[in-house]
Structure 1
Amino acid sequence: MTTSFLYFDLGNVLLKFNNERAIRQVADLTGADHDQLAALMAGEREQDGLQWRFEAGEFSDDEFFEIVCREFSIAPDRAAFEVAASDMFEPIAESFALIPQLKAAGHRLGILSNTNAIHWRFLLDGRFAVLNDQFAEYVTSFDAQSMKPDRRIYDVAIEQAGVPASEVFFVDDKLVNVEGALAAGLDAVQYIGHEQLLFDLAARGIEVPC
């Protein structure tokens, strides 16, 4: 088995996140009702929720801001709103240490994630340097206008990697996304912890110094 490119999911692989924290911060900043805001973001069905639709690229960050402002009759400072909506991420230390080791060993790396334009801008503003200077390719759902586990986002990832699908390794915390990647021809595994990830990499001939 040849592995020529490695993609990592963001949430619960590289970074922990807390959506409830973001909703609480936006509600505190704007005066919007917390429960109504949470319901708007989640939707009765996940794919109807504002969060899903924003991450799927159905509308821009400007349009997202306008929708929330209109829904709650609010007019917060835009920059403060984006920080409140985004300041919910914490690095997973073992993963942040692993990425530079893999790059230093000559491996080409990428991020493949369901995310939105506001979160992405926040994550790449320099506060998490590993995300800025270690990865060769970034594949985001809002840019691809396709959400994992839909086939199209994996096809975009394969094209950007520039190698056959079978040579692309992908790790994601959600089994449904792993299954979608496997169906697209990628070599994919579920993230259940750092030691298991090291084992999965070693099984592909990728050894990481202890």
Structure 2
Amino acid sequence: MCEGMRRPMKNTVPVLSATPAERLHQRAAEGPPEARRPKFLYFDLGQVLVRFDHGRLVRQLAAAAGAPEALVRQILFDEGMQEQLELGRMTTRQFYAEFRRRTGTGAPEAELRRAATEFFWPNHEILPLLVQLRQRRYPMGILSNTCELHWEYCRRRFAYVAELFDRAVLSFRVGAMKPDRKIFAAAAEAAGCAPDELFFTDDIAANQLGAAAAGIDAVVYRGAGDLIGELRRRGLMVG
């Protein structure tokens, strides 16, 4: 080969580096990268493991108390009684007493308990996946904003909630609610893992973002099929 052919040609067009926007477009076209395999899986309780309807809760309590639904909604949500329960700052008995006082009802505790709990039902679409994960011995836990009353009801009413999980990290026990970093630190400690060794799914985007900010691999729950894909991408043999 002659010397001239080894020299760069003077009229060679320089290669331009891609712009940030072009790099983002390229990564999107390539699809999400493979994620590391987690050592422990956490699931939210409400709207992931079980379904619920707050409208039904309000209607049932209003009927039991003989009170307007608007008042019940105000007591539970607008004034934060539900949040106080889920933070462990109010016991179930204190709830009954305060609810009776605010609504002027003399309804017995058993009737109020039924009204305040029987608004949950199983999320049937996720059950086959949970059974498969348990059969393959993947460690699993529940990470939930909930109160003692609702936790005890779900644990007793739905066998899979009580039987398939190794840990339960619950806001009323921790004294902090998602997306507070404190409850995610408690989840890591309970699992005996570093945060980046955990996987978590929640139906609320703010909770997913809070978990991610705490170093946890987290995704928003959009259905069992989507979740199976996320777990497969992390090397878990499911589906």
- Structure 1 or 2, whichever has the larger Rg, is 2
Correspondence for 1:203: 233
CA distance in 2, matches of 1:78, 1:122: 15
Q: Does structure 2 retain, via aligned residues, the 8 Å contact 1:83–1:122? A: no
Deviation at 1:165, TM superposition (A): 1.0
Q: Structure 1 residue 2: deviation in Å?
A: 3.1
Among 190, 193, 202, the alignment partner of 2:223 is: 193
Specify the alignment match of 1:85 in structure 2.
116
Which residues of structure 1 form unaligned runs of 5+? none
Give the match for residue 179 of structure 1.
209
1:121 and 2:152 equivalent?
yes
* Conserved 8 A contact 2:85-2:172: yes
Q: Contact conserved, 2:208 with 2:220, CA < 8 A, in 1?
A: yes
Moved over 3 A (4+): none
Aligned residue-pair number: 204
1:100 counterpart = 2:100: no
Give me the CA root mean square deviation: 1.1
Amino acid at match of 1:41: L
1:72 Cα shift?
1.3
Opposite residue 55 of structure 2, the aligned amino acid is E
Cα deviation 1:138-179 (Å, max 9, x = unaligned): 011111110100011111111000111111100001110001
Q: Distance in 2 between matches of 1:32 and 1:157?
A: 39
State the alpha-carbon separation in 2 of the partners of residues 67 and 151 from structure 1: 30
Of residues 67, 71, 74 in structure 1, which corresponds to 2:98? 67
Letter in 1 for 2:81: L
Do the aligned residues in 2 keep the contact of 1:114 with 1:142 (CA within 8 Å)? yes
- CA distance in structure 1 between the partners assigned to 2:87 and 2:47 by the alignment: 19
SS at match of 2:56: helix
1:35 positional shift: 1.0
Q: Note the alpha carbon deviations across 1:49-77, whole angstroms, 9 max, x for none.
A: 21122112121111111110111122222
Which among 64, 69, 73 is matched to residue 38 of structure 1?
Answer: 73
Percent of paired sites with the same residue: 38
Aligned with 1:111: secondary structure? strand
Deviation at 1:194, TM superposition (A): 1.6
Task: Classify the secondary structure of the residue corresponding to 1:171.
Answer: strand
Task: Return the TM-score normalized by structure 2.
Answer: 0.82
TM-score (structure 1 length as normaliser)? 0.93
